[in-house]
Amino acid sequence: MPSSNQRTKLLYLMKILLDKADEQNPMTMKEIITELAVYDIHAERKSIYNDLEILRQYGLDVIIQKTKIRGYYIGHRQFELPELKLLVDAVQSSRFITEKKSEELIVKLSSLTSQAQATDLKRQIFVTGRPKSFNEQAFYSVDAIHAAINNEKKITFKYFDYDVHKKRVFRKDGIAYEVSPVTLCWDSDKYYLVAYNAEHNELRNYRVDRMDNVAVSDAKGDEFNKSKFNVAEHIKGMFGMFGGEVVRATLAFDNSFVNVVLDYFGKDTRITPKDDEQFEVTVDVTVSPVFLGWIFQFGGKAKILSPCSLVDSMRELIRANKILYEI
């Protein structure tokens, strides 16, 4: 009767090929037999040939490298190395994911390729000092929010800001919010919850990394017609996801900023040439300090033409800055 180790030979053979063999590092039959022996599994070549065929039938892409020394490796994997490099860089770059969680995720991603290629992934991680979230719970808050959305429930949470000592200061004196989550969206390297407020019949945005003690409530979510909601349109005119009054604004830009405008407002934005040096666009924007700051950064090469209320807001911003920097 075969030992328990022999019964698991096929599983260990698959593990060995996935962990140690790739196109640049094929394994010889002798090496495979040696690796199996580490798990106290003694095998003959003929039985391994049969096992390799079973793995192929199962769907594992076992490739035979027919060179002077025949080798075996896994060809197509669930994730190719360039895809894993892209995912690793996205995790490492994300400000939403904490440093600790980034390291954990990268280790898990590295396990999806061979050990040799995993080393290449680790070499790729050379950018340090990127700003990261302080909130370790934010990663799990996302899961709770998705669960509430799928089950049409409300969520409860506390919302906070940081003070000058990097301490949390909870809004509403620490009283929990209870809202109906609509969706999660990513904007300017930050994760936001879009929630519906039935009392004011409006959508409000909350930064997920500023939410604490997120929990799914027993209360049913407020009725909201999601079929008419387009998250892309919702955030299109927002800057920094600041909520506020939405106005139809006409803006003038120097011709050199066509790419900037199209990148932000979308390729469908209608551009009207004003003269040889400028063009105009009419877009919906949310009135906020962030929007005014966005326009302000272009100096004399961007201007708000209408509405008058928005022009007045910019004048007030300029006046306040002028006073601040007067000698």
SS3 65: strand
Q: Per-residue confidence of the chain (327 residues) as pLDDT tens digits?
A: 445 577 899 999 999 999 999 888 999 999 999 999 999 998 899 999 999 999 999 999 999 988 778 899 998 888 888 888 888 877 877 777 777 888 888 889 988 888 888 887 765 544 445 566 666 787 788 889 989 999 999 999 999 998 878 888 999 999 999 999 998 887 767 788 989 888 888 888 898 888 999 999 999 999 888 777 777 666 655 655 566 678 899 999 999 999 888 888 888 889 999 888 999 999 888 888 888 888 988 988 999 999 999 999 999 988 998 898 887
Element containing residue 19 per DSSP (H, E): helix 9-20
Residue 23 near residue 67 (C-beta atoms within 8 A): no
CB neighbours of residue 202 within 10 Å: 10
Side-chain-side CA neighbours of residue 139 (13 Å): 15
Eight-state DSSP code of residue 175: P
**pLDDT score recorded for residue 82:** 82
**pLDDT score recorded for residue 135:** 67
Give me 91's structure tokens: 């995790």
Residue 32 CA to residue 28 CA, distance in Å, equals 6
User: Helical H runs in 59-137?
Assistant: 81-93, 99-110, 115-124
pTM: 0.59
**pLDDT score recorded for residue 1:** 40
Amino acid letter, residue 80: E
**pLDDT score recorded for residue 326:** 85
**pLDDT score recorded for residue 84:** 87
In 3-state terms, the chain is what percent helix, strand and coil (to 5)?
45, 25, 30
In three-state form (DSSP H/G/I as H, E/B as E, the rest C), the secondary structure along the chain is CCCHHHHCHHHHHHHHHHHHCECCECECHHHHHHHHHHCCCCCCHHHHHHHHHHHHHHCCCEEEECCCCCEEEECCCCCCHHHHHHHHHHHHHCCCCCHHHHHHHHHHHHCCCCHHHHHHHHHHCCCCCCCCCCCCCHHHHHHHHHHHHHCCEEEEEEEEEECCCCCEEEHHHHCCEEEEEEEEEEECCEEEEEEEECCCCEEEEEEHHHEEEEEEEEEECCCCCHHHCCHHHHHHCCCCCCCCCEEEEEEEEEHHHHHHHHHHHCCCCCCEECCCCEEEEEEEEECCHHHHHHHHCCHHHEEEEECHHHHHHHHHHHHHHHHHHCC
Residue 168 CA to residue 74 CA, distance in Å, equals 50
Question: CB within 8 A of 2, min separation 6: which ones?
Answer: none
